[in-house]
Amino acid sequence: MDLYMNGHTQSGVYRINPFGNESQINVYCDMETEGGGWTAIQKRRNGRVSFNKTWAEYKTGFGNTSDSYWIGNDVIHQLTKGRNSFLYISITRKDDIKYYELYDQFAVADESDNYTLFLGGPYMGTLGDNMLDTGYTFYDLSGMSFSTPDRDNDRKREENCASEHNGDWRFNKCHYAYLNGPWYPERWTYPWVFKFYDGSKIKETTMMIKPH
């Protein structure tokens, strides 16, 4: 958003310093969608980058900013702490039909709190809400900690959902939304229920944030 307000209105890769020091990182900025100024925290365009990673890899981030990447949980926390942020999620089908959901409140705690998700409404879009208020408390993801195959923080006692589903995410006892699953033709379970029961039709996913 700072870049957009300073006249950078073309979408692409930019360098930012979220920690306020000399340590800069590359991020993809969407300067066109819903008024522009969005920082992509997750971007998937193909299956070349695996999202089945360790806790340490999700902490610092991985992938190629111009293609597929996770920005890093430490960065997401830094960008959302002490401020109100929007969350914009989009899933594009292979026939280029795009669905989206916009949440009014989004923040992530620090590592000491397992990067707990704080999500709030109102929400709107064409995907439908599968994260905040699904109608089933064991599917809702607000208040959930981050889980990886080597760090089990979900509420399902019998197993580690990240290991079971081959990807890292905030799981409750179950999930209706799961954007970091294994890319098709591997078995990707319930990327976004009712619109996408598996990953066979998915071309691209994006998660973006910007301050109010």
What digits encode the pLDDT tens for the residues 25-69? Answer: 999 999 999 999 999 999 999 899 999 999 999 999 999 998 999
pTM of the model: 0.96
The whole-number average pLDDT for the span 144-172 is 92
The whole-number average pLDDT for the span 63-77 is 96
- pLDDT for 192 beyond 90: yes
Question: What is the span of the domain harbouring residue 90?
Answer: 2-145+199-211
pLDDT, residue 197, reads 96
How many structural domains is the chain composed of? 1
Does the residue 164 lie in any domain? no
pLDDT, residue 191, reads 97
On whether the CB atoms of residues 15 and 26 are closer than 8 A, the answer is yes
C-alpha distances in Å from residue 181, one per residue of 49, 77, 167: 11, 22, 5
Q: How far is CA 29 from the centre of its chain?
A: 15
pLDDT, residue 16, reads 95
Does the residue 126 lie in any domain? yes
pLDDT, residue 157, reads 77
Does the residue 73 lie in any domain? yes
Q: What is the pLDDT of residues 103-124, one digit of tens each?
A: 999 999 999 999 999 999 999 9
Does the residue 50 lie in any domain? yes
Does the residue 21 lie in any domain? yes
Does the residue 129 lie in any domain? yes
Does the residue 161 lie in any domain? no
Does the residue 179 lie in any domain? no
- Three-class SS of residue 55? helix
**Domain containing residue 112: CATH number:** 3.90.215.10
Distance CA 70, CA 83 (A): 21
